[in-house]
Chains A and B, each alone.
Chain A
């Protein structure tokens, strides 16, 4: 799709799409929680996190072109988000595990990008403050659920295990971002391991990428639930071509 003249280099455009789609898709998933939260404070917290991510997504997609054209008119295969963020909410434990994995990654990444000369530096410097809160929120809930009741421990372990195979993809190089991806992965693993251990959970031993489908979101290969998520997200916009909202 033609998205207009982008003011940035093609490699940065690739990165902006990847990071922007991550934020957009996770915001969309978190938005599904509205009215379903386990406690009123979490209605506020999850909406707040979703709102931060949506703000990041709008900034990043605008670097590439028109945010709404990009969000609403691309097909599934054109999205560059990692598969982790598109995974369905599941129970609260799955949502928290997904958030722990993603926020830890995002915080480490934006911390590094904030110190680069890339067009992402200003956004990263601002986003890192929001993301630190998201990670803190996910860590606290991982501890509470892991070290709470036998039921919550079992659910949190199951979620931690189920999403583990989507975490390898996070460390595939994105565009030409000047980041040491191996080092990023090591830091991520150390951080997540420490949280899981404090939560009395077992660090999953399975592979961090599966068969060809797990870990190819950056190339536009997604999982089955993603198409339905997009159908819901894009339907109204697409039903009124050319309309302004």
Chain B
């Protein structure tokens, strides 16, 4: 017994030293249970966000207004499904299978990013998602490429490259609309007006209310605070909005010379909490559609498993 405790202490010290030295923790390395649980929660939430995030954009694939835009949007949605695959695989290295995680998503025991509970009402929303939502996601995710857990960090390197393409296509889509007809310009402005605040909420609650932040920072799963990343995002977006010829819906948004940052108005955290609680505009639709797709596909997965069992093929 004493030896086990001692060995545990040695392993923990080795883990702490590796994290402190910015070395990567790999799947076979010993890690504290809470570190594992935090990673599983975070990676699963990220994977779920990728697959739920397909829905608001898929809403426009069939209606994309040019073949070029249709192709770009299809490629983007395909990337997102691919990101879901890498991330579920990263979670598998921590001992949790995709089926188990999907079950948790379908039964509301794990979350996905609340941003996808907002509707895509016009074509311009596809642009706003690319520019703002993917832009916010990149701001959050780039530091994750240096996350202490190796498989997650490596998945993020690839994902961030593709996300940055997504962000650019969104920006370019909005630029075309902004410089287009009056109706197109209005469509772009309306989309930005609706997506701006929810995008700022993507960085999570303010630092003093964020429950998981301190421990995640210590473990180098997280590298910057929510408010720090949010500020970085605002500072990036302001000149981009100007270049787009669009305004951001915040009368308090102003450059603060002293801080070297933009000040911005108060975020409606009540709305954030309501959406998180399940009362956003599309919570029921998103999870309902996901569950239906899964249930409708059950016979297909069963067939693949039965065929594999008969023919000794790897599972589809």
A interface residues, Cβ below 8 angstroms from B? 24, 27-28, 31-32, 34-44, 47-48, 50-51, 54-55, 57-58, 61, 67-68, 71-72, 91-92, 143-145, 147-149, 151-152, 155, 232-233, 235-237, 240, 242-245
Contacts and interface: CB of A to CB of B under 8 A. Distances in A.
B70 A54 contact: yes
A17 to B, nearest CB: 15
A237 B66 contact: yes
B94 to A, nearest CB: 18
18 contacts: A31-B70, A35-B289, A38-B296, A38-B301, A39-B301, A54-B71, A58-B67, A148-B302, A148-B303, A148-B307, A237-B66, A240-B65, A242-B181, A243-B180, A243-B184, A244-B176, A244-B180, A245-B66
B127 to A, nearest CB: 10
Nearest to A71: B67
B62 A233 contact: yes
B213 interface: no
B58 interface: yes
Given A40-B81, A240-B181, A235 B63 contact: yes
Contacts of A235: 63
A236 B304 contact: no
Contact of A43 (B65, B81, B296, B301): B81
A36 B173 CA distance: 26
B289 A51 contact: no
Nearest to A199: B307
Interface of B: 51, 54-55, 57-58, 61-71, 74-75, 77-78, 81-82, 84-85, 88, 98, 123, 173, 176-177, 180-181, 183-184, 289, 292-293, 296-304, 306-308, 310-311, 316
Given A36-B296, A147-B310, A148-B302, A232 B62 contact: yes
B154 to A, nearest CB: 19
The 3 nearest A-B residue pairs measured at CB: A38-B297, A148-B303, A152-B303
Contact of A51 (B69, B75, B85): B75
Contacts of B297: 37-39, 42, 92
Nearest to B60: A236
Given A39-B300, A148-B307, A149-B302, A54 B84 contact: no
A155 B88 CA distance: 30
A31 B88 contact: no
Given A41-B316, A144-B307, A34 B85 contact: no
Given A50-B74, A54-B74, A243-B184, A34 B303 contact: no
A37 B302 contact: no
Nearest to A241: B181
A67 B68 CA distance: 9
A38 B300 contact: yes
B299 A155 contact: yes
Given A44-B82, A67-B67, A149-B302, A32 B62 contact: yes
A54 B98 CA distance: 31
B85 A41 contact: yes
Contacts of A34: 54, 57-58, 61, 74, 77
B74 A240 contact: no
Contacts of B123: 236
Contacts of A152: 299-300, 302-303, 306
Contacts of A71: 67
Given A47-B77, A51-B75, A155-B299, A149 B306 contact: yes
Contact of A245 (B69, B84, B316): B69
A147 B64 CA distance: 38
